[in-house]
Amino acid sequence: MKSTFVFLLMMIPLVHLQAQREYLPTPEDLTRFQATKTYVVLSNNPLSEYNFEIKDVVEKYWTLTPYEFLDYDDFAEKSLDKNASFLYVAVVNFEKDKSRNRYMFLCLSLGGERETIDDLKDVTNIPLGYHGVDEDHYTYKLGTLIRFMQNHVQMLIDDPAMVAQNVFQHYNENMGYAGEKTLYLVEDEIEHRIATEAQISKLYHYPFQIVDREKIKELILAGDKDAIFLHKVGPEGKNLEARTYKILIGVAEARIYYYEYHKVNAKHPDAFLEDDFKRLERANEK
């Protein structure tokens, strides 16, 4: 799926690495992961908001394995340790994407002998942001994303047969009933021509609110059991022909209620689209 990545370094030159990200974990990998210590790799920029946030959420929520924070400069050498796993941000290119768009993924990978750092085996990953967007567009979501990743890995451990499936198709086919919760959206992440309550109400007949990012952060901090928010990853106007990921996640249970992506073009902007509301509406009617 992905051909190259670079580790995210804030406000300093990027370190370029090559990687193959198509690997699916085996049952043996999942068993080995459970015996590892997880090293949470920090950015080289000590003032990065990501560093402050990831430290806080890992200390609050990480339960799968023992953990330790790791300076980026020590990552390459430590990644040889077969008794270690790593939680880190990678900037990813998709192999068949001629536009060479880059996306930031939050990755959980196994350490061990390898020719290059490219060969780290992913246990799981999730899109975090489009490369170059402000980190305040995603850092406030890290607690929920970390909890989702843990839930996902535990699901694979409990049922290794899930590894071979299209996992996000599984989440879409088994999504919870979103209609009993309130969907929170940020105005600039909604398709512009429908980005009003009046227009959305014609498409989606369940509770929703258009709010700012600070409100969603408050909901996440409060663990609001009735809230679902949109995690959108897209180019933020920087590039056409990029992918836009659209993930709806429940705040309290860190459960995915909807997952989709589309290619940005003139008819399909970098946003949650009219078609997405229609799909969610149909899912709630089932």
Residue 68 and residue 81: Cα distance in Å, rounded? 14
Phi–psi pair at 143, nearest 5 degrees: -60, -45
**Percentage of the chain lying above the pLDDT 90 cut:** 57
When pLDDT is cut at 50, 70 and 90, the band that residue 284 belongs to is confident
Per-residue confidence (pLDDT) for residue 159, from 0 to 100:
87
Percent of the chain with pLDDT over 70: 84
Write down the pTM of the prediction. Answer: 0.87
273-285 average pLDDT score: 91
Instruction: Report d(CA 220, CA 274) in Å as an integer.
Output: 26
Is residue 239 scored above 70 in pLDDT?
no
- pLDDT reported for residue 205: 95
pLDDT per residue as tens digits for the range 12-70? 223 333 333 456 788 899 999 999 999 999 998 878 899 999 999 999 999 999 999 99
* Residue-level pLDDT at 237: 72
Task: Read off the pLDDT of residues 84-140 as tens digits, 9 standing for 90 and up.
Answer: 999 999 887 766 656 667 888 899 999 998 776 667 888 998 999 988 888 888 999
The domains of the chain are located at 2-163, 167-285
